[in-house]
Amino acid sequence: MSKRKFGLALTMVLAAGTILGACGTEKAKNNEGTGSKQGAKENNFSIAMITDTNGVDDKSFNQSAWKGIQEFAKENNLEKGDGGYDYLESKGDADFEPNLNRLVRRDFDLVYGIGYLLKDAMEIIADQHPDTMFGLVDEIADSPNVVSIMFKEQEGAFLAGAAAALMTKTDKIGFAGGMQIPVIERFQAGFVAGVAAVNPDIKVDVQYTGDFGKAELGKAVANRMYSSGVDIIFHAAGATGNGVFSEAKERKSADKNASVWVIGVDSDQYAEGQVGDENITLTSMLKRVDVAVKNISELARDGKFPGGEVKTYGLAEDGMALTDSHGAIPDDVLAKVDEFAKKIADGEIVVPEYPTK
């Protein structure tokens, strides 16, 4: 009896396997179908991106890159999906290579990798697929079909530093970084230089949390800084920076007259700083990944893809900017900040790339 049931179970498993297997082949056929359809509308230029491990809605540079792709798609009448535009999120670093491969296999013309972590994976995949164009943000790749997109974060951070130095009342300013890597050190170097350009006597308290995803660490650092008399903190720490915001907001809601400010990073973080009627976001330093992504996409569409080159976006290329302060920064201060911006764009001020040790 039991043997017969065992046999029945085995048969069922086999049957299920066959049915599922059939699904697989059917789908494969469908894929071929769409593949040939794609060939028919070859004139469309298609782009896609994969995120690093922070996801596409990270309120930071992944989101900004996706925004750039969406804008490009809108202007060129692309549809989401094969032959148009799309994105894939990576959950861990083992996903980078397979995700890049998936997009290459779907025949996207230009594939972006957002973040320095993707460098190794991108070089490997780019060498295997020399006919596909790739763009890498925040790192320099060594392949002829990859354009490396770099930013002069130090220039934007310089403006943030100048604004902070002009606004501080306690002459103490804080910098909360994520992991201590070259990109974030450029933020630090520019910020410290910007503060010093206004007033060399102001003390900048530099702290690294060692993580981009732990808000509680950001909160602890902010707590320490505000308690020691710092009144403005610039964070370059991704989601860890959300903790800086929550600490500032708590202090503001406890005491309406408390002078605590946060300078946001990568995208406009004004909405993060809302406390009732007040807002503790002084301004945000924008890293215009969207501008860069759109720009490179346009070049590639027109057959002028700068493969193997390093494209650097700073103030002069509209790759950096401070957002509207919604009245938090008075006009005379803004005028002074704009003056710095002009001098940097003209090359009159060269902002250091590395922090002085």
Partner 1 sequence: MSNRFVNILVPIISIILGLLVGAAVMWFSGYNPVMGYIALWNGIFGDMYSIGETIRQISPYILAGLAVAFAFRSGLFNIGVEGQLIVGWFAAAYVGMAFELPKFIHLPLALIAAALAGALWGLIPGILKATLHVHEVIVTIMMNYIALHTVNALIKAVSEGGYKTERIHPTASLRSDFLSNLTDFSTLHYGIFVALAMVAVMWFILEKTKTGFELKSVGFNDHASQYAGMNVKKNIILSMVVSGAFAGLGGAMEALGTFGNMVTRGGFTGIGFDGIAVALLGANTPLGVIFGASLFGSLKYGAGNMPNEAGVPVEIVSIVIALIIFFVASGYIIRVLLSKMKKKKEAK
Q: Residue 244 CB, nearest distance to partner 1 (Å)?
A: 17
> Which of 71, 89, 268, 318 is in the footprint of partner 1 by CB under 8 A?
89
> Which of 75, 120, 278, 324 is in the footprint of partner 1 by CB under 8 A?
120
**Which residue is listed with tokens 């972006």?**
112
Asked if 93 touches partner 1 (CB under 8 A), the answer is yes
Asked if 95 touches partner 1 (CB under 8 A), the answer is yes
Contact flags string 317-356 toward partner 1, x per CB under 8 A: ----------------------------------------
Residues in the chain: 357
Asked if 216 touches partner 1 (CB under 8 A), the answer is no
Segment 24-83, which members bind partner 1 (CB under 8 A)? Answer: 24, 27-28, 55, 81
Say whether 244 sits in a helix, a strand or coil.
Answer: helix
Say whether 176 sits in a helix, a strand or coil.
Answer: strand
Measure the CA–CA gap between 146 and 305, rounded to whole angstroms: 9
Phi (first) and psi of residue 146, to 5 degrees: -120, 130
Task: Name the burial class of residue 341, with classes exposed (0-12), middle (13-18) and buried (19+) by CB atoms within 10 angstroms of its CB.
Answer: buried
Phi (first) and psi of residue 57, to 5 degrees: -110, 45
Among the listed ranges 3-11, 154-162, 196-204, 340-348, the one in contact with partner 1 (CB under 8 A) is 3-11
> Which of 35, 38, 170, 181 is in the footprint of partner 1 by CB under 8 A?
181
> Which of 5, 29, 169, 304 is in the footprint of partner 1 by CB under 8 A?
5
Rounded to the nearest angstrom, the gap between the alpha carbon of residue 344 and the centroid of all alpha carbons in its chain is: 23
Name the residue among 104, 102, 108 with its Cα closest to residue 126.
104
Among the listed ranges 2-10, 68-76, 148-156, 308-316, the one in contact with partner 1 (CB under 8 A) is 2-10
Measure the CA–CA gap between 324 and 59, rounded to whole angstroms: 17
Comparing CB distances to partner 1, the nearer of 120 and 346 is: 120
State the alpha helices, DSSP H only, in the chain: 2-40, 61-75, 96-105, 119-128, 153-167, 182-198, 215-227, 241-254, 289-301, 331-345
> Which of 35, 98, 306, 307 is in the footprint of partner 1 by CB under 8 A?
98
Asked if 206 touches partner 1 (CB under 8 A), the answer is no
Radius of gyration of the chain (CA): 24
Comparing CB distances to partner 1, the nearer of 9 and 271 is: 9
> Which of 40, 43, 77, 92 is in the footprint of partner 1 by CB under 8 A?
92
Number of Cβ within a 10 Å radius of residue 18 = 10
What is the helix (H) or strand (E) element at residue 110, kind and residue range? strand 110-114
Comparing CB distances to partner 1, the nearer of 24 and 39 is: 24
Q: Which residues bind partner 1 (CB under 8 A)?
A: 2, 5-6, 9, 13, 20, 23-24, 27-28, 55, 81, 88-89, 91-95, 97-99, 101-102, 106, 116-117, 120, 128, 178-179, 181-182, 210-214
